[in-house]
Amino acid sequence: MLNRFVADYLETLAQADFRPVPKVAGRLLSCDGLLMEATGLTVPVGTVCEVGGVVEAEVIGFRGDRTILMNLGGPAPLLPRAPVRPIGAPGEAEVGDALLGRVVDGAGRPIDGLGPIRGAERWPLAGKLQGPLDRGRVLSPLDVGVRAINGLLTIGQGQRIGIMAGSGVGKSVLLGMMVRAARADVVVVGLIGERSREVADFLDTKVAGDARARSVVVAVPANHSPVLRIRGALRTHAIAEAFRAQGKTVLLIMDSLTRVAHAGREIGLALGEPASARGYPPSAIAMLPNLIERAGQDAHGPGSITAIYTVLADGDDGNDPVVDSARSILDGHIVLSRALAERGVYPAIDLGPSVSRVMTDIAQRPHLQAARVLRRHLATYEANRDLVLMGAYRAGADPAIDAAIAYHPAITDYVRQDHDEIVGLDTAIAELTGVFGDG
C-alpha cells in the first residue's frame, strides 16, 4: 500500500504541467445589509465566494483595491475581518434533459425534493455570443390555446412578446393557459421576484400533469437576494438556449421582467450609480435588451425560443420605463385592461393597443382581413361608447357605428374564454373568419 502511494505521488510530481494552486482568501472589511466589501481578493466579477464560512456572496464590482460583494443568502453572524474565499467560477448553468420536470432556484439547486440533478450538461449563464444573422425569420405560427391571441395576435415560433398589465389583472392565469396548451417540445418557466405562494400555486395548477414532464421551472421568490433574482433570469435563458441548440421548439415564459429590472436597480444603486428614469439607474434598463435578445429563431437549425415576458405596469402606467423599454425591444405586446377585468371579461386583453409585429408574416390573407374587420368594429364602438351607453346615439345615423354596435356582442364572446378551456389555432381562425370574414 505504501509503495503504491509513493509511486502515485512521484508520478504526480513528475508531470510536466503540474503547478501547485494556492488557496486565495481575503478579509471582510464592511457589511451593510446585503452589500459587503472585502480586501485581498483578485477574482473576476460574478465569482461566488464564501464569507466567514457561513454565507455565500457574489462579486458584483470593485472600488479601488476593495472587492464589492452582494449576499446571496440571509442574515449571518459575520464578524469584521472574516475570511472571504472564492468557491465557484462565474458563469455556468446546468442544462439538458436531466432538468425536465424539475424545479431549481437561482443558484441551480433543486428545490422540489426529488434529489440531486444527475447527468446535466453545462452552458454559459450569459449565453453564447451570436450575431444578428444567427437569428432566423419568424415564419411559423405557434398554437398557445387562447382564442384571442391565436386569432388576433398570432404568435410565431421564435417571437418575443410581452404581457403588460397592472397587478391583479390576470397575467398569471393567462400564462397558465398558454403553458397547458402550447405546442412546444419544452416549456421553460422563470418565476422571478414573485410571491412564494404564487410559485407553489403555479406549480400545482399551471404546470401540473403532462405539462410538468416537459417543463423546467426556475423559481426565485421576491425575498431572495437581487443577485439571485438576476441569476435566475440568466439561468432560465441558458436552459432554453441549450434546448434550442438541440433543435427543439422551446416556449420560454418569465414572470416577470419588471422584477428583474427591480433587482438590477437594487444592485446599481448599491454600487453608487445615479438614479435616472423613475429611480432606475442606466444599467438596470440596459440589462433588458441583453436578456431579451437571447430568445428567437435559430438561423442554422430548426430550434427556436418563443419568449413570453410579463411586464408589470406600476400603477397601470403604460409609460413606466420598464414597460416603455420592453415595448421597443419586443416583437409585440399584449395589454391587459383593468376595465375589461372589472366587467368580467377574461382574459382581459385590450385589443386596441395590443399588437403582434410578426402576424403579417405568418397568417394568411383571409385571416388578416377578418382580424382587421374585428379591430375596426371594436375601435368604432370604443370611440362612441359613451354616446351609445348614454342613449345619445340615434340608430341609422352612421352605418359604421350601427355595424359596430351589432358586432360588439360577437367581439366580446370571441375574446372571452374560461381559464380551463383550450381553443386551438385552426378553430380560432375558423371562428374569426366565419363571423368577420365578410366585413
Domains and CATH numbers, the chain: 16-86 (2.40.30.20), 92-360 (3.40.50.12240), 366-437 (1.20.1270.330)
pLDDT surpassing 90 at residue 434? yes
Residue 361's pLDDT is what? 93
pLDDT surpassing 80 at residue 183? yes
pLDDT, one tens digit per residue, over 5-53 is 556 655 655 555 555 555 678 999 998 878 899 999 888 888 889 998 8
Residue 438's pLDDT is what? 74
9 or 219, which is more confident: 219
Query: Exposure of 219 by Cβ count < 10 A (0-12 exposed, 13-18 middle, 19+ buried)?
Result: buried
Q: What is the rounded distance in angstroms from the CA atom of residue 293 to the CA atom of residue 315?
A: 27
235 or 16, which is more confident: 235
Residue 240's pLDDT is what? 96
Q: What is the rounded distance in angstroms from the CA atom of residue 315 to the CA atom of residue 275?
A: 20
Residue 272's pLDDT is what? 84
Asked if residues 344 and 364 have their Cβ atoms less than 8 Å apart, the reply is: no
pLDDT, one tens digit per residue, over 128-165 is 878 888 889 999 999 999 999 999 999 999 999 999 98
pLDDT surpassing 60 at residue 2? no
Residue 420's pLDDT is what? 87
Cell of 285: 434598463
Residue 279's pLDDT is what? 82
Q: Percent of the chain beyond pLDDT 70?
A: 94
Q: What is the rounded distance in angstroms from the CA atom of residue 200 to the CA atom of residue 208?
A: 11
Cell of 264: 438590477
Confidence of residue 236 (pLDDT cuts 50, 70, 90): very high
pLDDT surpassing 60 at residue 338? yes
Q: How many CA atoms lie within 13 A of 19 on its CB side?
A: 4
pLDDT surpassing 80 at residue 98? yes
Confidence of residue 186 (pLDDT cuts 50, 70, 90): very high
Q: Strand, helix or coil at 384?
A: coil
* φ, ψ for residue 46, nearest 5 deg: 100, -10
76 or 71, which is more confident: 71
Interval 255-278 mean pLDDT: 87
Interval 363-379 mean pLDDT: 95
DSSP state of 222: T
Residue 6's pLDDT is what? 57
pLDDT, one tens digit per residue, over 51-72 is 988 888 989 888 888 999 988 8
Q: What is the rounded distance in angstroms from the CA atom of residue 132 to the CA atom of residue 365?
A: 29
Mean pLDDT of the chain: 88
Cell of 364: 394568411
Asked if residues 249 and 157 have their Cβ atoms less than 8 Å apart, the reply is: yes
* φ, ψ for residue 140, nearest 5 deg: -120, 135
- Say what the pTM is: 0.86
Interval 65-94 mean pLDDT: 86
Q: Percent of the chain beyond pLDDT 90?
A: 51
Residue 77's pLDDT is what? 84
- List, in sequence order, the alpha helices (H) in 133-221: 147-152, 171-181, 196-201, 210-213
Confidence of residue 319 (pLDDT cuts 50, 70, 90): confident
Confidence of residue 256 (pLDDT cuts 50, 70, 90): confident
Q: Strand, helix or coil at 70?
A: strand
Per-residue DSSP letters for 102-156? -EE-TTS-B-SSS----S-EEEETT-----GGGEEP--SB---S-HHHHHHS--B
